[in-house]
């Protein structure tokens, strides 16, 4: 860090590219590393190894070991080091290999990062980004398949975003890096390979706290985030063809702040709501949404709010068992048809 | 890297400096006594951890800090705040939960802070401040600053994962941080020998190829000498270190603990006979500062504490309509404005602009 804001002038925008979600995240980091020398990346295997999931591939060569810092397997230590560095004005991007491993740093995230702003009365901020993927579906079993998005989203002092598209992966990660509060960016293992169009403009951010209407429709609202949005869009298309109903998909993008307004406007129009998430629904994101929707749309609802999430078991290994636990498109479709009163 | 027991190393402070250290130690002792009285009178709430008996360790370590150095501590922090120069009024007002408390009435006894003086808290989870101090040292290195971080912890923290992870990171990255272990022999009611397989805590530094020293923490000169030496090495050579200060806390773990379930009155009396204030006074007298010279200074410190209590009593509580100030950065209101409707508490109202300022 060389003093001052550390920000240098951004290069000119360069059009639109098709890339994977993984590449979009890398683009966001590269642009922000170029733009602001307070930004640095830190985590297990982010440098020499090119990233456990190759998100940071090539960044070490480009920016060197001070900007792309390999850490020991020591989540509590290096997440906490990110908090301390952020408190002095750095803008660390801490990669945690998966959300499951963030649990060993929970104290630093919830008891420390989330508290800095309030405890210091706004005198000290904590502009920390933690990037980590959630998700199941690769037979990774009980300890490596979890989505605790709701735990973090329920913590005042944190912001939590969970992009579902490459464009938002780039836009939300950049917004998170530029944000002065601690932001958890929840990525997703199966989404890393999804492709999409991304505007390369380094100044184009996705605003935090704004949901997207991922698909317009009039008969049912599916509310989802992260990989559940990918599933929801497939289901929406399928039941449009099979049943002639139009499904609106609201992609939350941010979990805290939560854009209840966009969700409520959609449900007021469709009168029916299905909340889908990759995590366990009890006490989860979908539970929060159901509460918000019944409060905001009590007189609009023509059916009870439904939820689909992970079966409430630790994830098993056998493919058949794992599949039975997942919020698959079949399960989402069946739930959608129930809410639509179209169930067989 | 050596691990050294320097409990007997000689060191001489200039009589003027020694006099200043004694004044601060005396002020802290009287402040803690006042805090205990105010707690028992229900003017102070929450937890309240007193440091009587630990004054030399506290004052000696803080005296070794340069103005630009940073200080991070655990929750037994009244003495550290005072030694760092936070006005007693601001500390007592914080204990009272008042608007002009040094943490704006947000922190209380455990979370004192003063950013202008480089004091970054006052943290309440055992060991939790260590990774943060380590990250601050990393930031100092990134900006090429010749500054150090002093990170205080208790003997109870050395069996936490955060301790091992922080020492390892500090050593593997050559960070300018000194971990000061205030070993008062008990983590709450569990004695060091019941908690730690290696009771020579400073030796743990050797596992991280880091300098580890132990000093008699009740010897103000030894304490300041060791702190000065290690902070200098951290600042100038980016050499992290562990400094173990052997001391004793006279009172219980907190004001709610009589402190007698796990140790005897005889043990406490034995330590009181080696009181750091008495020892420091003897050092001053040995340097020719006459005993009668202390009376006026002590009376002055007592008035300072009385004034702090009066200030805290008179100060207003923080404004309730600033309940959520600081939780999020100004500008976040826009991000949160769509969290309604259907909100249980109206987040947009709770995420208003700005911090509290000074």
**Model pLDDT for residues A2-30, shown as the tens digit of each residue:** 344 667 665 556 799 999 999 999 999 99
Contacting residues of B for A155, CB less than 8 Å apart: none
Q: How far is B336 from chain A (nearest CA, A)?
A: 5
Q: So where are chain B's domains?
A: 3-318, 319-358
C-alpha count within 13 angstroms, C-beta hemisphere, residue A37: 12
Nearest CB partner across the interface for A85, out of B139, B327, B329: B139
Beta sheet of A91-95, edge-to-edge order: A68-70, A39-43, A91-95, A129-134, A183-188, A159-161, A254-256
Looking at every residue in chain B, the average pLDDT score rounds to 93
Please report the number of interchain residue pairs, chain A to chain B, with beta-carbon separation below 8 angstroms. Answer: 200
The token duo for B230 is 């290690």
- Tell me the per-residue pLDDT of A268-327, one tens digit each, with 9 for 90 and over: 999 999 999 999 999 999 999 999 999 999 999 999 999 999 999 999 999 999 999 999
Compute the distance between CA of residue A271 and CA of residue A264 in angstroms, rounded to an integer: 10
**Section A26-38 average pLDDT:** 98
* Per-residue model confidence (pLDDT) at position B343: 65
Select from A88, A210, A292 the Cβ nearest to the Cβ of B342: A292
How many Å apart are CA B22 and CA A344, to the nearest integer? 85
CB-nearest partner of A293 from B106, B136, B342? B342
Contact A184, A193 (CB under 8 A): no
The stretch B295-310 carries a mean pLDDT of: 96
Closest alpha carbon to B149 in B60, B69, B77, B64: B69
Ordered DSSP codes for A120-171: TTTSS----EEEEEE---SS--TTSS---HHHHHTSTT-EEE---SHHHHHH
Q: In angstroms, how far is CA B96 from the centroid of its own chain?
A: 19
Handedness of CA B347, B348, B353, B357 (dihedral sign): negative
User: Across chain B, which distance is largest between two alpha carbons, in Å?
Assistant: 74
Question: Omega of the bond prior to B341 within 30 degrees of 0, cis?
Answer: yes
User: What is the least distance, in Å, from the CA of A75 to any CA of chain B?
Assistant: 9
Residue with token string 């039975």: A324
pLDDT, average across residues A93-106: 97
Identify the three-state secondary structure at position B244. Answer: strand
Q: Which residues of A carry out catalysis?
A: 75, 144
Interface pTM (ipTM) of the complex?
A: 0.94
Instruction: Centre a 10 Å sphere on the Cβ of residue A204 and count the other Cβ atoms it contains.
Output: 13
User: Which segments of chain B does DSSP mark as H helices, in order?
Assistant: 15-40, 55-63, 78-83, 88-95, 129-142, 161-172, 192-195, 220-237, 265-272, 276-286, 292-314, 332-336, 347-350
CA distance A322 to chain B (A): 33
Is B136 in contact with A86 (Cβ distance < 8 A)? no
Query: Which residue out of B133, B163, B327, B351 would a mutagenesis test of the A interface target, given it has the greatest number of A Cβ atoms within 10 Å?
Result: B327
Partners of A78 on chain B (C-beta within 8 Å) are: 131, 165, 169
Rounded to whole angstroms, the Cα distance separating B205 from B241 reads 7
| DSSP label at residue B202 | G
Residue B202: per-residue pLDDT? 98
- Chain centroid, CA A11 distance in Å: 27
List of E strands, B118-251: 119-122, 149-154, 177-183, 186-187, 190-191, 211-216, 241-246
CATH of domain A212-339: 3.40.50.920
To the nearest whole angstrom, how far is the Cα of A36 from the nearest Cα of chain B? 13
Which residues in A lie closer than 8 A to residue B125 (C-beta atoms)? 107, 111-112
Structure tokens at A21: 């979600």
- C-alpha distances (whole Å) from B343 to each of A249, A259, A275, A292, B350 are 21, 11, 17, 6, 11
Q: What is the CATH number of domain A16-199?
A: 3.40.50.970
Residues whose CB falls within 8 Å of the CB of residue B333, separated by 6 or more in sequence, listed in order: B348, B351, B352, B353
Q: What is the CA radius of gyration of chain A?
A: 20
Indicate whether B347 pLDDT > 60. Answer: no
Provide, as residue numbers in chain A, all residues whose Cβ is less than 8 Å from the Cβ of B104. Answer: 121
- Selected residue with higher pLDDT from B357 and B54: B54
Q: Which residue of B has its CA nearest to A94?
A: B135
Give the per-residue pLDDT at A3.
40
User: Which residue of chain B is at minimal alpha-carbon distance from A124?
Assistant: B115
H or E segment and range at residue B221: helix B220-237
Looking at the partner chain, which of B162, B339, B340 has a beta carbon nearest the beta carbon of A76? B162
Q: Quick check: A2 and B334 CB within 8 A?
A: no
H/E stretch holding B24: helix B15-40
Taking only the tens place, the pLDDT of each residue in B55-90 is 999 999 999 999 999 999 999 999 999 999 999 999
Tokens 């969970």 belong to residue = A162
Percent of chain A topping pLDDT 90? 94
- Going A95 to B159 to B180 to B198, the CA torsion angle's sign is negative
- When pLDDT is averaged across residues B283-300 and rounded to a whole number, the result is 88
Residue A1: the pLDDT is 37
Residue B47 has pLDDT above 80, yes or no: yes
Contact B356 A88 (CB under 8 A): no
d(CA A240, CA A235): 8
How far B128 CA lies from chain A's nearest CA (Å)?
7
pLDDT above 80: residue B203: yes
Asked whether the predicted pLDDT for residue B358 surpasses 50, the reply is no
Nearest to A210 among B106, B162, B338 (CB): B338
Percent of chain B whose pLDDT exceeds 70: 94
Instruction: Give me the residue label for tokens 């060389």.
Output: A2
Q: Dihedral through CA A197, CA A202, CA A208, CA A210, nearest 10?
A: -40
Distance, in Å, from the CA atom of A165 to the CA atom of B319, rounded to the nearest integer, reads: 43
Delimit the domains of chain A by residue range: 16-199, 212-339
The lowest-confidence range among B129-138, B214-223, B280-289 is B280-289
Q: Which residues of A touch B73 (CB under 8 A)?
A: none
C-alpha A126: how far from its chain's center? 19
Contacts of B143 in chain A (CB under 8 A): 1-3
If we measure between CA atoms, which residue out of B106, B46, B96 comes closest to residue B327? B106
Spatial contact of A97 and A51, defined as CB atoms under 8 Å apart: no
- Substitution target from B105, B136, B138 for chain A, most A beta carbons within 10 A: B138
**Which residues of A fall within a CB distance of 8 Å from B138?**
81, 84-85, 90
Find where tokens 């998909």 sit: A249
CATH of domain B3-318: 3.40.50.970
């Amino acid at each position: 860090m060389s003093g001052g804001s550390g920000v240098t002038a951004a290069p000119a925008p360069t059009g639109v590219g098709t890339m994977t979600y993984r590449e979009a995240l890398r683009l966001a980091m590269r642009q922000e590393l170029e733009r602001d020398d307070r930004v640095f990346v830190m985590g297990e295997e982010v440098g020499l190894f090119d990233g456990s999931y190759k998100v940071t591939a090539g960044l070490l060569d480009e920016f060197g070991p001070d900007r792309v810092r390999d850490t020991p397997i020591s989540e509590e230590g290096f997440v906490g080091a990110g908090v301390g560095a952020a408190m002095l004005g750095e803008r660390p991007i801490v990669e945690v290999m998966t959300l499951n491993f963030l649990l060993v740093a929970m104290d630093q995230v919830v008891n420390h990062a989330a508290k800095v702003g309030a405890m210091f009365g706004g005198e000290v901020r904590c502009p920390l980004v933690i990037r980590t993927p959630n998700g199941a579906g690769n037979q990774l079993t009980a300890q490596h398949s979890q989505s605790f998005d709701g735990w973090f989203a329920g913590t005042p002092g944190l912001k939590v975003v969970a992009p579902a598209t490459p464009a938002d992966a780039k836009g939300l990660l950049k917004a998170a890096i530029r944000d002065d509060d601690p932001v958890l960016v929840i990525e997703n293992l199966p989404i890393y390979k999804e492709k999409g169009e991304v505007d390369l403009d380094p100044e184009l951010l996705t605003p935090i706290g704004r949901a997207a209407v991922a698909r317009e429709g009039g008969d049912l609202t599916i509310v989802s985030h992260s990989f559940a949005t990918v599933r929801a869009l497939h289901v929406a298309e399928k039941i449009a063809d099979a049943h002639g109903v139009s499904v609106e998909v609201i992609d939350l993008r941010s979990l805290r702040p939560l854009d209840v307004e966009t969700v409520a406007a959609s449900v007021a129009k469709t009168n029916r709501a299905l909340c889908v998430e990759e995590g366990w629904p009890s006490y989860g994101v979908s539970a929060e949404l159901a509460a918000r929707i019944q409060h905001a749309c009590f007189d609009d609802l023509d059916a009870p709010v439904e939820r689909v999430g992970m079966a409430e078991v630790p994830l098993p290994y056998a493919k058949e068992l794992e599949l039975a636990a997942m919020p698959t498109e079949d399960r989402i479709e069946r739930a959608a048809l129930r809410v639509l009163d179209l169930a067989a | 890297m050596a691990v050294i027991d320097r409990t007997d190393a000689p060191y001489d402070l200039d009589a003027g400096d020694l006099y200043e250290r004694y004044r601060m130690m005396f002020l802290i002792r009287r402040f803690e006594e006042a805090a205990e009285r105010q707690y028992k009178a229900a003017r102070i709430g929450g937890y309240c951890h007193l440091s009587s008996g630990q004054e030399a360790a506290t004052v000696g370590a803080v005296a070794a800090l340069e103005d630009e150095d940073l200080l991070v501590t655990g929750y037994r922090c009244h003495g550290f705040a005072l030694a760092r120069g936070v006005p007693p009024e601001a500390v007592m007002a914080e204990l009272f939960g008042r608007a002009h408390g040094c943490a704006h009435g947000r922190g209380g006894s455990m979370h004192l802070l003063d950013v202008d003086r480089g004091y970054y808290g006052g943290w309440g989870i055992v060991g939790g401040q260590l990774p943060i101090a380590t990250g601050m040292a990393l930031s100092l290195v990134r900006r090429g600053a010749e500054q150090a971080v002093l990170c205080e912890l208790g003997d109870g923290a050395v069996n936490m994962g955060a301790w091992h992870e922080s020492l390892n990171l500090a050593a593997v990255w050559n960070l300018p941080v000194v971990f000061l272990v205030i070993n008062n022999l008990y983590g709450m009611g569990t004695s060091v020998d019941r908690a730690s397989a290696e009771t020579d805590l400073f030796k743990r530094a050797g596992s991280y190829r880091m300098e580890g020293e132990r000093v008699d923490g009740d010897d103000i000169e030894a304490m300041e000498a060791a702190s000065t030496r290690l902070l200098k090495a951290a600042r100038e050579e980016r050499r992290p270190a562990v400094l173990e200060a052997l001391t004793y806390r006279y009172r219980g773990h907190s004001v709610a603990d009589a402190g007698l379930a796990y140790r005897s009155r005889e043990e406490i009396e034995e330590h009181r006979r080696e009181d750091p204030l008495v020892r420091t006074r003897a050092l001053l007298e040995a340097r020719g500062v006459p005993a009668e010279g202390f009376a006026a200074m002590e009376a002055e410190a007592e008035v300072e504490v009385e004034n702090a209590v009066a200030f805290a009593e008179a100060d207003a509580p923080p404004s309730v309509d600033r309940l959520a100030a600081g939780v999020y950065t100004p500008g976040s209101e826009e991000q949160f404005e769509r969290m309604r409707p259907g909100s249980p508490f109206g987040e947009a109202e709770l995420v208003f602009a700005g911090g509290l300022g000074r």
